[in-house]
Amino acid sequence: MSNRPELPPEIARRRTFAIISHPDAGKTTLTEKFLLFGGAIQLAGQVRAKGEARRTRSDFMQMEKDRGISVSASAMSFDYRTFRFNLVDTPGHSDFSEDTYRTLTAVDAAVMVIDGAKGVESQTRKLFEVCRLRDLPILTFCNKMDRESREVFDIIDEIQENLAIDVTPASWPIGMGSDFIGCYDLLRDRLELMDRADRNRVGQSIEIDGLDDPKLADHIPAHLLEKLREEVEMARGLLPPLDSQAVADGTMTPIWFGSAINSFGVKELMEGIGAYGPEPQPTRAEPRQIAPEEPQVAGFVFKVQANMDPKHRDRVAFVRLASGHFERGMKLTHVRTKKPMTISAPVLFLASDRELAEEAWAGDIIGIPNHGQLRIGDTLTEGEALRVTGIPSFAPELLQTARAGDPMKAKHLEKALFQFAEEGAAKVFKPAFGSGYIVGVVGALQFEVLASRIELEYGLPVRFEGSQFTSARWVAGPKDKVERFVQANKAHIAHDHDGDVVYLTRLQWDIDRIERDHPDLTLSATKEMM
């Protein structure tokens, strides 16, 4: 990134990121405080309240609430100082890792929130691995320092060893649990004190001239000050100093300590996102990559959400702008179909509510309402035939047969299933032989979510039954060879919603054998969405 040209100021001020965390670490609370300091809400608590009002709208959402997970992701934009932050929400549950993966293709950085008492948890690790696949820069926030937490060196060690990333402290906590009074800001030599009385207020910030400054003693009890000096000296000796290139490359993470619920450490983290965020990065595409500073608009769909409003059958495609300056009413080319599309009612996800987007810049996320033309992985440009790459579709790990509860409604079921397939919520395969549809998901919970959404949104009862197959592989190769293979293996063949050929089996052995006997064919567990 060091060799990149300077970006137009409107693009350079954008920071597009996601928060990754294990459930309960404090993602919602932190989001709320971001919005509070971003001036998007007046009082903390509104995000949750709004979330709940939305959730009561349907039983599906009720299920989401009961299980304490967030199935639907969205985006939020807000300003902080000179920056425009675009926060893209990731579903936290492991059953939705594919959705999460795609969401992370739309951001330039991730904030990893961990609970100071728990350290790196299972879901943190999984999400971290996904970030690593894309070398995303990661900024770490160690939350809940107002509670009894682990020793700071332990936490840092655990991150370094468990996640194999260098950790550099951006701040150092003073005291712990009920003794916690604040942090020493190592990047800016300031003392940050927590205000326990008012959770929505930021405490005092005092400029300090290094750790020997006598002013420190006015604010920190002697025993804590001594410990702070010792620990910081040790940390500076043992841990690497902050290297912005290493952060940009994703090999080093700066860590801030704080307490989201007490609004503490949040502003420092926001400053950190501003400083190391980074600014919008180039997007991988064929036949060439797209640079954010290009004057022409390009963008790609990373998520489709259907039925956001149950009364309208509309869908919203979430588009990450890869380049240029977008204005409402623009005519863009839908590269897959080569058709022009006038974007007359784009949605910008301003934190206060959905609002009509008059303009947006590279790095921003816009929502485009449509009737199904826009699919995950689609590219929009001002005419050039570019195709954004790297948005995969994974082979499902669980397969079941879906049958309409009412046999008269089989056609309707197909429509509903294909729609969810386009949304990326499941894979749907129509077997070459036999009736029913084979539905594949990554996690078992998705079957329940699908069944209740199909009932709710389409009024169709549906049954999921065990399938004779357990694995699906996309078949690729020369056309005539694929065709011959299909003819010879009809009982194992199905087509996905794009019409692509899929081989179904219950034996890994089958897959190995085909790969051996048909060197011209590839059986793939992922398919690039297009």
Exposure string over 467-478, b if 16+ CB within 10 A, otherwise e: bebbbbbbbebe
C-beta of 421: minimal distance to ligand GDP in Å?
Answer: 29
In this structure, what is the dihedral angle of CA atoms 289, 293, 296, 301, given to the nearest 10 degrees?
Answer: 60
Quick one: 67 or 481, whose CB is closer to ligand GDP? 67
Q: Is 145 annotated as a binding residue?
A: yes
- Min dist CB 48 to ligand GDP, Å, is 8
- Nearest distance from C-beta of residue 199 to ligand GDP, angstroms: 9
- On whether 93 is known to bind a ligand per the annotation, the reply is yes
CA distance 260 to 142: 9
Q: Residue 29 or residue 97: which is nearer to ligand GDP going by CB?
A: 29
Q: For the chain, what is the radius of gyration of the CA atoms?
A: 25
Cβ atoms 109, 17 nearer than 8 A: yes
| Burial call 122-138: b when 16+ CB within 10 Å, e when fewer | ebbeebbebbeeeebbb
**Least distance to ligand GDP from the beta carbon of 25, Å?**
5
- 285 assigned to a ligand binding site: no
Residues 6+ apart with CB under 8 A from 79: 38, 39, 85
Residue 216 beta carbon to ligand GDP: minimum distance, rounded to whole angstroms? 24
CB closer to ligand GDP out of 149 and 400: 149
Q: Is 497 annotated as a binding residue?
A: no
CB of 477 to ligand GDP, least distance (A): 45
> Residue 153 CB, nearest distance to ligand GDP (Å)?
21
C-beta of 23 vs 369, nearer to ligand GDP: 23
**Sequence-separated (6 or more) residues with CB below 8 Å from residue 223:** none
* Residue 262 or 471 having the CB closest to ligand GDP: 262
* 24 known ligand binder: yes
E-strand ranges in 362-470 read: 365-370, 379-381, 387-388, 392-394, 398-404, 427-431, 437-441, 462-466
Q: Which phi and psi angles does 140 have, rounded to 5°?
A: -110, 135
Is 311 flagged in the annotation as binding? no
The answer to whether the annotation marks 21 as part of a ligand binding site is yes
User: Is residue 470 part of an annotated ligand binding site?
Assistant: no
Give the nearer residue to ligand GDP in terms of CB position, either 263 or 505.
263
Question: Is 27 annotated as a binding-site member?
Answer: yes
CA dihedral over 33, 45, 53, 63, signed as positive or negative:
positive
Smallest distance, ligand GDP to C-beta of residue 81, A: 23
- Cβ proximity to ligand GDP: between 28 and 97 the closer is 28
CB of 69 to ligand GDP, least distance (A): 9
Binding site for ligand GDP (CB under 6 A): 21, 23-29, 143-144, 146-147, 259-262
**Residue of 527, 520, 511 lying closest to 479 (CA atoms):** 520
Say how many C-beta atoms besides its own lie within 10 A of residue 382's C-beta.
17
Q: Please state, in angstroms and rounded to a whole number, the distance separating the CA atoms of residues 516 and 500.
A: 22
396 among the known binding-site residues? no
Q: Is 90 annotated as a binding residue?
A: yes
Sign of the torsion angle spanned by Cα atoms 466, 404, 442, 431: positive
Consult the annotation and say whether 505 binds a ligand.
no
Instruction: Give all strands of the β-sheet with 138-143 in edge-to-edge order.
Output: 75-80, 83-88, 14-21, 109-115, 138-143, 252-257, 166-169
Phi, psi of 395 (to 5 degrees): -65, 135
Nearer Cβ to ligand GDP (28/467)? 28
115 neighbors 148 (Cβ within 8 angstroms): no
Q: Across-strand partners of 301? A: 319
Compare residues 144 and 497 and give the one whose CB is closer to ligand GDP: 144
Q: Which helix (H) or strand (E) holds 417?
A: helix 410-423
Binding residues: 21-28, 89-93, 143-146
Binding residues for GTP: 21-28, 89-93, 143-146
